[in-house]
Structure formats: structure tokens, C-alpha cells
Chains A and B, each alone.
Chain A
Amino acid sequence: MSRGFLLSDLLGRWVSDAAGRELGRLRDLAVSPGRGGEVVGVLVRRRGRPDLRLPSSAVESIGDGGIVVRETARAGQPGEWLLLGRDVLDAQVIDVSRRRLARVGDVLLTADPPPLRVDQVDVGLGAVARRLGLRRLSRRLPDDVVAWRDLHLASGVGHALQLATPDATVHHLGADELAEVVARLPRERGRALLARVGRDPAERVRSRLRRRPRRRRFRRALRRGGDAAP
């Protein structure tokens, strides 16, 4: 496992054990928000039976022919799992570094060095074109990737799990950046975010949003170098 993988290529691939016995197809990969982008679990869809949950350590190889695992290992309850296919792929994200709203076209994983982990997400049109089978077009379109650590997930599960993670990027933002993130989130999620950052920072963000309630004016002021983050 020395090269990078695209999540959209992996989902649906056959998963088999070391003896070559097919176990099912890859349903999803799980990451734990508290452990960066490290893949912690593998979900295998089996016909007529419940999904098989395996720890990522059970994965022996990922190749063009499929994914080989050790079936004997079993993962624990996926209570805190963020599922990359369900909660990240095609979900809305906030690119904190470039202060923009985007949608995940694909998830780029790497196992170099191990363990398997999420490296970046592709939010560009090229990823969409590739997944639609328009490979020639996708090669002409520029990549638009965002580092995993610079993302704040706007999907329901992703947002909640990231908020609950103390070292998530949003917890380390200044008032201006945080105001920018809150301004882009649906109102309820923005409120949940402010509830987590503490009373004083939240009040600073609110005062910035109150003073410039509409986004266009707010961003112009930011570009002019208006209020600096405290």
C-alpha cells in the first residue's frame, strides 16, 4: 500500500480474505475525527447479511483486483465513526484556509507512510467529471484539492463529530475566520459552533456578524483588512 487512492475508486470494490474467498463489496471507510484523517474501520456490504465491520488494521492489501483483508479481526461499535462515503463524499464543506464553501468531489487517501489515512479532498469539477465517466474532460480540468486539516464538514454527522473534536481546525480560528465559517453554515449549525467556542469568542464573532450582516459587505471589509482577529 504505497500509493494514493481515490475513495470513489475503492467504494464498491470486491473485498476478499487471504484465501481468496469473496466477503462482499466495500461499502464505506471510517475515520475517527479525533485521530486526524486516519482510517479506523472498513465496512463490507454482504448479500443478505449485516455489514461486516473490520478495523483498518485488517486490511492487507488494496489492489486493482480488490481489497484483501483478514476476516478474523472485528471492529468495535462505530459510534464515533465518520463514514467517508456517507458523510464526506458529495457533502458540503467549508474550506477554512480559503474561506469558501465547496462540495467534495472525491476523497484522496494515502498509505505512504502507513496507516491508511485521508490526505486531501478534491472539490474541483475534475473529480465530478471523472466520477461521471468523463475521464478525458477530467484530465483537462485543474485539480482543486483541500488538505483534510483545513476542512470543516457541513454535513450533519460530520459537523457534529468535528465540533466534538477538541483539535478540529474550527477551534483554533480567530474571530474573523470563525465569523466567516459561521456566516456560511446553516444558521442552526453556526449556532452550535458558537456554543462550543466559549462565551467571549462567540460574542466577538456575533458582534462582527451583527455589524456586517450580509456576506458581500462582510468579505469586502475582510479584504480591506478591517477588524483583525483578537
Chain B
Amino acid sequence: MRRRSLIALAAVVGPGLLAGLSDDDPAGITTYSILGADYGYRLLWLLLLSTAALIVFHELGARMGVCTGQGLLGLVRERYGVRWAAFAMALLLVANVGTVCAEFAGVAAAGELAGVPRWIGVPLAAAGVSILVLRGSFHRVEHVLLALSLIFVSYIVSGLLAHPDWRAVGEGLVVPHLPLERQALVAAVATVGTTLAPWGLAFIQSYAADKRLRVSDLRYERVDVVVGAVMTGVIGLFVVVACAATLHASGQSIHDARDAAEALRPLAGSAASALFGLGLLGAGLLAAAVLPLSTAYSVSDALGYEAGIDDSFREARVFYLTYAVAVACGAAAVVAPGVPLVSILYLSQALNALLLVPLLVMAYGICRDRTLMGELTLGPLARVAALATIVLIAACVLALAVLTVS
């Protein structure tokens, strides 16, 4: 019986792990690195909070995908009408393409750490993820992406090589502490915000639907969601720990994940630095594959076209064209000279934040709709958890907006 359950779990695993781990993208790694370098172990408790929010958030997505067999924007269109779906699609499209730029910028940074110029590394990465999705079957794509996720282990090893103070780590995790200064507040809300993204919710739902999971699979899918979110939190923790044990201890400040990898070399050894860089490459590649997929699913869902990795190009033109355009735009923006990359990244982050709360509220409304969700309609406890998460995220988005403007 136990063996049977494990086999069933193995067949279901994928959506939660991929959606969770792709949240640890280069932008996320940068946020965690800065958090560790600037505040040491003190703000680690935020990762517990964001992990809990991620579990609630992704469970909603998986529940909707499994129950309805539809993607998020398709359901938004069905329940809220074509205008809301078009609005969400337009924002998601711009925000996602901007974020794809960030993922390829991460790939470029990781390549340059190893001496590979970006004009070689980025087109290679773009071609690789495009061929994988355009030519591969659903199972092949999933297996390759899950294998790619193993690279994240390098962050754990890198954190261990930094010889952290485990007692301080434990204290930072369980004792909430927040310096009442602007920079610390920005770092705190950015940490929660970087873990949760609209594209992650859209991806897990569409991917679960594309995998054709059944209602009876949902209990295994919940395990997948929890494991994915916890792995995301654990990797974030080791990134913070690696930077806290080395950069914070020596009083160094950094601006991005590449700085962190370079700064680790004299402090924790070249192995830790190389592993950190390898992790950045893996994070960039995984997110560079998953984000355009999320975009393609969303556009196809909203416009009413077929969307499935197992569909051929002829059957799902909009799906594959959206994927290809998202990858091409993201890669071109990183390689082409004179592109205002920082402005693009800033705009995409702002759009992600702007879209997150309305999308969550709509997802919550869908999950409460018995006509759509049937027996999987949110129960009282799940409603409280979802509402608390929405309030937390809305507070973070509002705080970030106020702190950025003021």
C-alpha cells in the first residue's frame, strides 16, 4: 500500500516542485543574497512566512487546475468576463517578458563568472529551452526541468562550505526581528514579494491541468506543493546563510547575486563561489524555461486557444508562438546593446506587484464558486488561510509601493 502511494506520488510530482523552485530565480537569489549580506541571520524568519504563503498560494492554483482542467486566465474569463481576462493577460504578458529578461540576465551573469561571454551564453540558453519545449513531449520536458532543479543543491553545499553559525540560524528563523529602518523594511517586503509571483500561480494551475491530474491525485499534488515550497524556502535559507556567514561577517555589501558569487571566493573558497555561480545558472535556466511556459499557457487560456506541451505546433500555434516570442524578447534584451535592462526589470517587478493582489482575489473567488469547483470548493479553514495570505501580500505590496515612492 505504501509502495503504491509512493508510485502514485512519483507520477504526480512536478507542478509544485517546478513552480516553487522556479521562484528561486536570479532575482530571488539576488534578494536573498542582499538580505544575508546586509542583515545576517536576523531576517531568516521571513523565509518561514513566505514559504507558508507560497504553500497556500500554490495549493489554490493546483486545486483549480486539477478540479477544472483549465488555466487561471481561462477561469478568470469564465467567471469574471473577457475584460478582466484581457486586462490580466496584458499585464501578465508585459510583466512576464520583463521577468524573462531578468532570468536571461542571470544566465548571462553566471556564464560570465565562468568566462563565457553573454553573446554566446544567452543565445545558447535561449535555443536550449526553446528546443526543449518546442520539440519535447510533456514527460521529457518535465524530466529535464526536474533534473535541472537538482542544480539547486549547489546552494545548500555552498551554504555548508561557508561554515555558518547554526545557533544564530536557528534564532533568526524562530525569533522575529525587524529593524525599523527603511532599507530593512524594503528588504523584508521584497523577500516575501520575490517568493510569490503571478506567473507562478498561473504556471502551477495550467501545468497541473496540462498534466491531466485527477481529483484523486490532489492529495499527492498537495505533497508536491508543500515539498516544492519547502525546498524553495530551504534553498533561500542556504543562500541567506552563505552570504550571512561570509559577506555580513566581514562587513561587505553587494548589489546582485553575481557580486555574491565573486565575493564568496576569498571568504569561503573557490568551491563555494563556483557552486554559487552554478546555482545561479541553474536558477536562470529553469526560470527561463518555466516563465515563458507560464506566459504561453496564460495567453492561450485567455484567448481560448489550445495549450499543451503535447500538442503539435499546428494544433497550438498561439501557445508555441507566445513561448518563442517571450524567450526571444528576453534573450535579445540581454544581448542587444543599449537596451535599458534596469528600467525593464523595474517595470516588470512593479507590474508583478500590481497584478498579484487582484489575481489572488480572483483566484480566491473562483475557489469559493461551487459551480466551478464542486466538491473542491474552499472550506472554512482554507478560506481563512487564503484570506490571511492575501492580506499579508496586499500589505507587502502596499508597503513596498509607499517605501519606493517616499
Q: Which residues of A contact B (CB under 8 A)?
A: 90-92, 100-105, 123, 125, 128, 131-132, 154-157, 185-189, 214-216, 219
Contact = CB atoms under 8 A, between A and B. Distances in A.
B404 interface: no
Contact of B74 (A92, A100, A128, A185): A92
B62 to A, nearest CB: 14
B82 interface: yes
B137 interface: yes
A185 B69 contact: yes
Given A215-B311, A219-B315, A90 B81 contact: yes
Given A125-B303, A188-B215, A91 B69 contact: no
Contacts of A132: 82-83, 86
A156 B306 contact: no
A128 B303 CA distance: 8
Interface in B81-101: 81-83, 85-86
B70 A92 contact: yes
B310 A90 contact: no
B153 interface: no
B265 interface: no
A185 B68 CA distance: 9
Contacts of B78: 90-92, 155
Contacts of A102: 304-305
Interface in B112-150: 137-139
Contacts of A188: 67, 214-215
Given A92-B78, A189-B69, 12 more contacts: A104-B304, A125-B303, A128-B86, A128-B303, A132-B82, A156-B371, A186-B69, A187-B214, A188-B214, A188-B215, A216-B137, A216-B310
A214 B137 contact: yes
B310 A128 contact: no
B374 interface: yes
Interface residues of B, number: 32
A227 to B, nearest CB: 19
B77 interface: yes
Contact of B304 (A103, A156, A215): A103
B106 interface: no
Given A102-B304, A187-B214, A216 B74 contact: no
Interface in B283-312: 303-306, 308, 310-312
B371 A157 contact: yes
B260 to A, nearest CB: 42
A105 B312 CA distance: 24
A123 B77 CA distance: 13
B261 interface: no
A156 B372 contact: yes
Nearest to B213: A187
Contacts of A155: 78
17 contacts: A90-B77, A101-B306, A102-B304, A103-B77, A103-B304, A128-B82, A128-B304, A131-B82, A156-B372, A156-B374, A157-B371, A186-B67, A186-B70, A187-B213, A187-B214, A188-B67, A214-B139
Nearest to B370: A156
B383 interface: no
B368 interface: no
A187 B215 contact: yes
Given A186-B68, A186-B69, A215 B308 contact: yes
B209 interface: yes
A179 B109 CA distance: 48
Contacts of A105: 82, 304
Contacts of A90: 77-78, 81-82, 85
Contacts of A154: 69
A162 to B, nearest CB: 15
Contacts of B371: 156-157
B15 to A, nearest CB: 15
Contacts of A100: 306, 315
Contacts of A128: 82, 86, 303-304
B308 to A, nearest CB: 7
A197 B74 CA distance: 28
Interface string B199-213: 000000000010011
